[in-house]
Structure 1
Amino acid sequence: MIGKIDHIEIEVSDADEMAEFFEKLGYEKHRETEHHGESYEYVPADGEGPLFEIHTVSDEETPGINHIAFDVDDIEAVTEQLEEEGVDSLVGPYDVDKTGRTITNFRDPDGHRFQVVTDQDDD
C-alpha cells in the first residue's frame, strides 16, 4: 500500500543556510517554489533517496520535521484504504499547484503529520 518515501519536509531557521548545508552533503537543488514562502527542494546527487523540501519557519512554527510523504500510484484508492482503517485526521486528496503534487494528509497516534502524494501529471 505505502512504500517509497517521496519527500521529507523540514522547517528550518534559515532556508538559504540549510540549502548550503545540503549541498555540502552532496545534494543538488531540484527546484525552488513559493510553497510556504520561499522553499527549496533538494535531491541526492546519485538519485538514491528522498527529496528534502526546506523552508524557513514563520509565525508559530518551530524548526524540525514537518512531515514525511510517501509516493503512491493511486492516491484515491490509498486515501480510501486509510479512511477504512480509521487513520486519524485524514484530509484529501487535494492538489497543491505550487509543488505539482496531489496529496492526502493524515496523522499518526502521536499527532505527527504524514502524507501520501502523487505528481499531478500522474493523476
Structure 2
Amino acid sequence: MIMRPRHLTSWNQVKEAIDLLQKLNHTAQAVYFPLASAMNYQLLLQSLSSNLLKEAQKFTDYNMRAYFVRKINKTFKNLSQVEDPKILETGIKKNEELLGVLTRQVTLNNIYPSGKSVIE
C-alpha cells in the first residue's frame, strides 16, 4: 500500500509534487552535467599535461627538452581557456597522440644520444 506524505492532503497534490521534483531533477541535470564534464575535461587536461611534461623531461638533449616543455606549456595554457567540449575533445586526442610520439622520440633520443651542448 502506498502512503501519501502527511503534509499533502490529496493524491493530486502528491502527483503535482512528483511532477515538480522531476522537472527540478531534469533542470539540475541540465545545469550540473555540462559543468561536471567541463571539470572532467580540466582534470584530464591536467593529467595529460603532467604526463607530457614528465616525458619531455626524459630527453637528454637540452634543446629538445626545452622546446617540448615550452610547447606543452603553451598548448595547455591555450586549452585551459577553451570551454567548447568539441574543441577540448579534439585537443585531448591530439595531445594523446603527441604523448605517444614523444615517448617514441625519447626512446630514440636515449638510444642514439647526441653530445653535450654548451648550455649543459
| TM-score above 0.5 | no
Higher RCO (C-alpha 8 Å, min separation 6): 2
TM-score, normalising length from structure 2?
A: 0.22
**Higher CA-based Rg:** 2
Q: Which has the higher helix share?
A: 2
Q: Which has the higher strand share?
A: 1
